[in-house]
Chains A and B, each alone.
Chain A
Amino acid sequence: MSVPTQSIGDFLLEHVANGFHWKSPFWSFDLSPLHFQIAGITFNITLDFLMIGLAVILCLVILIPASRRHNLMPTSRFAHAIEATVLFLRDDVVVQFMGEKLAVRWTPFALTLFFFILALNLIGLIPFLHSASGNISVTGTMAILIFILFNVMGMWHNGVMRYLKAIAPGGLPLPMMLMMYPMELVSMVSKSMTLAIRLFANMAAGHFIVFSLLGLMALMHSYAWGLFSVPLAVAMYGFDIFVAFLQAYIFTLLSMLFIGSAIHQEH
């Protein structure tokens, strides 16, 4: 491996960045001829586009048959795992933040979010595939969706004026209110932003660490470093699998928390 012109930081960033080339030691596809137009806007098919499509197909292929089989008791080990995840998300996340009544309506959304992000994260860990959730545009889009969703849902359930008024805590004197209101608006935007940055940074950082550890061998021009870096990289890879589950869970948890607290506003 040669790193002639780029700095190592740029090389690292390029490793997780979106692009038109799908490269591996065995193949190299140029994706740039693939594009389509809808209403005059050109959509390019990039690497992340492919990976998101793969995640969607995986979710559909695995989860729809799992939900079709109406056994009272899950029989296989896999069905047990899915059912435990679904029950955990419903009882510990959705019901807790939405309340019993709204939970029926919001559980499918929370489950979709969780399994989609989980699929994206885990696809990124398969060698030669690419991590779409390590791209800030992908996670940013999801965070903007959550931002719009909790504002619209707050207005839907509380009425527009009452929602906007209750953004800042009530019963404050006017000068205090003038100070608090912009701060609450900023915190509203920034908590959606951290939602995007958290997922992106965690997934990208996992790849960076594995890549840098293995890159030590190239950097030091010696395979002896492999004795040190390969076991560490394997350990970090195991940790990344845990992080993939944890970040999918945290994204779902926090979006449900934001939506729930916009619906059940404190007055």
Chain B
Amino acid sequence: MENVASNLGSLQAGLAAVGAGLSAVGAGIGIGLIGAAALQSMARQPEMKGAIQTLMFIAAALVEGVSLFAIVLAIVFKG
């Protein structure tokens, strides 16, 4: 019985790691899209570079915030 319990513990830690990885995938896709769109618009209108950069950082920070929540939850529930 103790064996099962310890196995469940390591399963929980493994699942937490998988969750952290999935959140990294989500944030990677999101920030990648933001970066691509910002580069494109900067290439089209170089004179708007400053404004676009600020907006890019805001959007990237918001996306990052969601995935950081997920990572903190993974740390909390790693068991």
Contact = CB atoms under 8 A, between A and B. Distances in A.
Contacts, number: 33
A250 B61 contact: yes
Contact of B61 (A93, A96, A254): A254
Name the 4 nearest CB pairs between A and B, nearest first.
A194-B65, A201-B68, A197-B68, A250-B61
28 contacts: A9-B13, A9-B78, A92-B50, A92-B54, A93-B54, A191-B65, A194-B65, A194-B66, A194-B68, A194-B69, A197-B65, A197-B68, A197-B69, A197-B72, A198-B61, A198-B64, A201-B68, A201-B71, A201-B72, A249-B57, A250-B57, A250-B61, A253-B54, A253-B58, A253-B61, A254-B58, A254-B61, A257-B58
A249 B56 CA distance: 13
Nearest to B53: A92
Contacts of A201: 68, 71-72
Interface of B: 13, 50, 54, 57-58, 61-62, 64-66, 68-69, 71-72, 78
Nearest to B78: A9
Interface string A175-204: 000000000000000010010011001000
A257 B55 CA distance: 11
Given A92-B50, A201-B71, A201-B72, 6 more contacts: A9-B13, A197-B68, A197-B69, A198-B61, A253-B61, A257-B58
Helix, strand, loop or mixed for chain B's interface? helix
Interface of A: 9, 92-93, 96, 191, 194, 197-198, 201, 249-250, 253-254, 257
A201 B72 CA distance: 8
Contacts of B50: 92
A164 B10 CA distance: 47
Contact of A198 (B13, B65, B78): B65
B54 A198 contact: no
A9 B62 CA distance: 27
A257 B50 CA distance: 16
A187 to B, nearest CB: 11
A253 B65 CA distance: 14
A249 B62 CA distance: 14
Contacts of B68: 194, 197-198, 201
Contacts of A253: 54, 57-58, 61
A143 to B, nearest CB: 12
Contacts of B71: 201
Contacts of A96: 54
Contacts of A250: 57, 61
A54 B64 CA distance: 30
Nearest to A247: B61
Contacts of B66: 194
B52 to A, nearest CB: 12
